[in-house]
């Protein structure tokens, strides 16, 4: 059957537990559904950056789609909402996903891959936000976090492109990647339907100038503006 739409996901009560124990249980069910597979590199052109801003009362999400070959913004969409779940480390998908799905629902184009502001498999239950949204939508996703969740990983060399592994026992759950020489690295992990290698390569391609990928920076700014103009 066809991939679920953001609206269908939002409407499914089974996917929105109210309490942390049930949320953790859902993550344990989603984690095994993550698939690591090569992202057909030449077909990757449209990359969507996702981010959420919030204050005490409201959440505002943004999706910014950019064409990687030109680095131009192709389309943007936003979504808003009221917090339905407390902030709990390791569970923030349950807080940020609803407005994010509203934003994705407003997109007319179909991005080749989604870049998420947060962890993918580098997560206590191997189901960070990037895995969560990727599995639910059955779309390729990559997690790019500004700080590590759990295992800090190694320290990469100073130059752009250098990386070190983030391991959980014998498995490499993510990479500490230097996107700018001499600048604090980012933490890249697989969300869904990408390999860790492709996730890092894509992150670098999407990050020509600053520490964070351009689509994520744009989504950060847009969601912030969206939040500001609500009040």
Annotated binding site for Mg(2+): 51, 117
Q: How many other β-carbons are positioned within 10 Å of the β-carbon of residue 227?
A: 21
Q: Does 92 bind DNA (CB under 7 A)?
A: yes
CA angle 82, 34, 119 (to 5 degrees): 50
**Minimum Å distance from CB 65 to DNA?**
19
Q: Does 135 bind DNA (CB under 7 A)?
A: no
Q: Which strand ranges, in their side-by-side order, compose the sheet holding 46-54?
A: 72-81, 59-67, 46-54, 113-117, 141-145, 186-192, 171-177, 163-168
**Using CB under 7 A, which residues numbered 147 to 186 contact DNA?**
147-149, 182
- Which CB, 193 or 226, lies closer to DNA? 226
Q: Does 81 bind DNA (CB under 7 A)?
A: no
Number of residues that bind DNA (CB under 7 A): 28
| Beta carbons of 79 and 106 less than 8 angstroms apart | yes
Candidate segments 37-45, 48-56, 153-161, 195-203, binder of DNA by CB under 7 A: 48-56
Q: Does 51 bind DNA (CB under 7 A)?
A: yes
123: which residues sit within 8 A by CB, 6+ positions away? 27, 90, 131, 149, 150, 173, 189
**Minimum Å distance from CB 153 to DNA?**
12
Candidate segments 36-44, 72-80, 124-132, 165-173, binder of DNA by CB under 7 A: 124-132
Q: Does 55 bind DNA (CB under 7 A)?
A: yes
Measured over the CA atoms of residue 101, residue 107, residue 113 and residue 117, the dihedral's sign is negative
Give the residue, chosen from 99, 143, 185, 213, that forms a contact with DNA under the rule CB under 7 A: 143
Q: Does 20 bind DNA (CB under 7 A)?
A: no
Q: Does 214 bind DNA (CB under 7 A)?
A: no
Closest listed residue to residue 142, CA positions, set 8, 11, 37, 28: 37
- Which CB, 205 or 224, lies closer to DNA? 224
Give the residue, chosen from 20, 90, 156, 161, that forms a contact with DNA under the rule CB under 7 A: 90
Helices marked H in the chain — which ranges? 6-11, 20-30, 93-105, 129-137, 196-205, 214-228
Give the residue, chosen from 167, 205, 211, 224, that forms a contact with DNA under the rule CB under 7 A: 224
48: which residues sit within 8 A by CB, 6+ positions away? 63, 64, 65, 66, 104, 107, 111, 113, 114, 115, 215
Binding residues vs DNA (CB under 7 A):
51-55, 87, 89-93, 117-119, 123, 128-130, 143, 145-149, 182, 220, 224, 227
């Amino acid at each position: 059957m066809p991939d679920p739409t953001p609206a269908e996901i939002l409407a499914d009560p089974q996917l929105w537990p109210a309490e942390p124990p049930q949320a953790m249980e859902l993550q344990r069910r989603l984690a095994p559904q993550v698939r690591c597979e090569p992202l057909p590199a030449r077909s990757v052109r449209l990359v969507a950056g996702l981010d959420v801003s919030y204050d005490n009362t409201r959440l505002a999400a943004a999706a910014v789609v950019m064409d990687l070959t030109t680095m131009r913004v192709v389309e943007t969409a936003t979504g808003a909402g009221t917090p339905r779940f407390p902030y709990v480390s390791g569970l923030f998908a349950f807080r940020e996903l609803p407005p994010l799905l509203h934003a994705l629902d407003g997109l007319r184009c179909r991005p080749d891959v989604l870049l998420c502001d947060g962890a993918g498999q580098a997560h206590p239950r191997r189901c960070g936000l990037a895995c969560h949204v990727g599995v639910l939508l059955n779309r390729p996703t990559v997690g790019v976090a500004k700080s590590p969740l759990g295992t800090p990983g190694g320290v990469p060399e100073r130059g752009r492109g250098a990386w070190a592994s983030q391991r959980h026992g014998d498995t490499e759950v993510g990479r500490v990647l230097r996107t700018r020489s001499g600048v604090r690295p980012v933490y890249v992990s697989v969300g869904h339907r990408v390999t860790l290698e492709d996730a890092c390569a894509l992150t670098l391609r999407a990050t020509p100038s600053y520490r964070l990928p351009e689509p994520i920076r744009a989504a950060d700014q847009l969601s912030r503006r969206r939040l500001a103009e609500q009040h």
